Amino acid sequence: MGGVTSSMASKLAFFPPNPPFYKVITEKSSGLLLLDRFPHRENVDVLKLPTRRGNKIVAVYVRYPMATRTVLYSHGNAADIGQMYELFIDLSIHLKVNLMGYDYSGYGQSSGKPSEHHTYADIEAAYKCLEESYNTKQEDIILYGQSVGSGPTVNLAARLPRLRAVVLHSPILSGLRVMYPVKHTYWFDIYKNIDKIQSVKCPVLVIHGTSDEVVDCSHGKQLWELCQEKYEPLWIKGGKHCNLELYPEYIKHLKKFISAIDKTSSSQRNNNSRKSVDQSTTTRHHHHHFGRRKSTDCFEAPRKSTTKMEHLDFINELEPFALKFDVNDDKVGKLRIPYEHMERSRRSVEYIEKPRSSTDIKLEWPRMSVDCIDRIQS
């Protein structure tokens, strides 16, 4: 049965671009790591991070001057950071945040093979890097998960009690539920967000297109209903699975969300200051020593999923299907988001792979990002 799980995970979830859309090179003069397709930026670090499962993943860290928040972005299942790079730059500039994006094991120039549990280790490695290398506090981190990236995002968020916020962009209830309207969670399912989202203790913003042709909007709506701390969701009318960044309300709502959590944080700090004064007054003559609460690795075990049984005839039909990206993009256009400072507007994630013999050929065609259900030819 373990083979069933592995086969399902690989066929339904992972389509790393082949060949990758970038290479990691070392600048001779400085020894810095760079992505070969992009000029060096002083505010961007390219990193190779070890994971607890023995792989090394590639990540990029984008600094924004005086930023107080950091976004940890988990992309969809058919992109790599070579395709995401310019979006990372744009989001950092427009949201005024630091941003770390990373490639899953087996994606881009990351070693290993993609799997559900590898992605959990991958996001943990990126999170650990933020804390240890960039001195980022848990309460200043916003986890952002797009499509399949909602899986590692929710899994980590459920174990971080002081996380600042979570953004779920076209998220899935679970891998199996994308294809079949099952009522219960089975042990062989992957990315069981439906069973973990209630363990997330921070504000959650859900963004989903009402015309999503890959992951029905009901996934986002049900996850939002299950959230403990709901923020006003964004249901983009007519939005599909891979084009939400084309809508002006996308970036507008994200900015509103960032502003709201900043105000909440300021209010909490003021309340904590008042409490601290009160506590110091009442305990001035006592000799109790309170240890500082650690801000790193305060993981809590996620809630176990349910495994109630129902009719399973559909399992035999699973293998011929997979979630694949859609290359039919007849309405590609420029971003209509009014980025005041950005150098270049672009679509969110990926590009159509024209036949090419080398990864050095210039990218030409924009394409829709992550997933579409399609048959795998035998």
Give the residue with greater pLDDT, 39 vs 282: 39
Alpha-carbon gap, residue 127 to 125, rounded angstroms: 5
Confidence band of 264 (pLDDT split at 50, 70, 90)? confident
Phi, psi at residue 89, to the nearest 5°? -60, -45
Say if residue 199's pLDDT is above 50: yes
Mean pLDDT of 167-187: 92
The whole-number pLDDT of residue 136 equals 98
The whole-number pLDDT of residue 306 equals 44
Q: Which of 51-55, 60-64, 298-302 has the lowest mean pLDDT?
A: 298-302
The whole-number pLDDT of residue 203 equals 98
All structural domains of the chain: 2-272+295-375 (3.40.50.1820)
Confidence band of 113 (pLDDT split at 50, 70, 90)? very high
Place of tokens 């672009």: 346
Place of tokens 């070890």: 50
Q: Which of 246, 327, 244, 321 is nearest to 17 (CA)?
A: 327
Give the residue with greater pLDDT, 114 vs 338: 114
- Active site (catalytic) residues: 147, 212, 241
- Average pLDDT of the chain to the nearest whole number: 78
Mean pLDDT of 365-378: 38
Say if residue 171's pLDDT is above 90: yes
Mean pLDDT of 27-36: 93
Confidence band of 3 (pLDDT split at 50, 70, 90)? low
pLDDT one-digit tens code per residue, 314-342: 445 554 445 544 333 433 333 333 433 43
Structure tokens at 52: 């607890």
Say if residue 302's pLDDT is above 80: no
Contact 238, 211 (CB under 8 A): yes
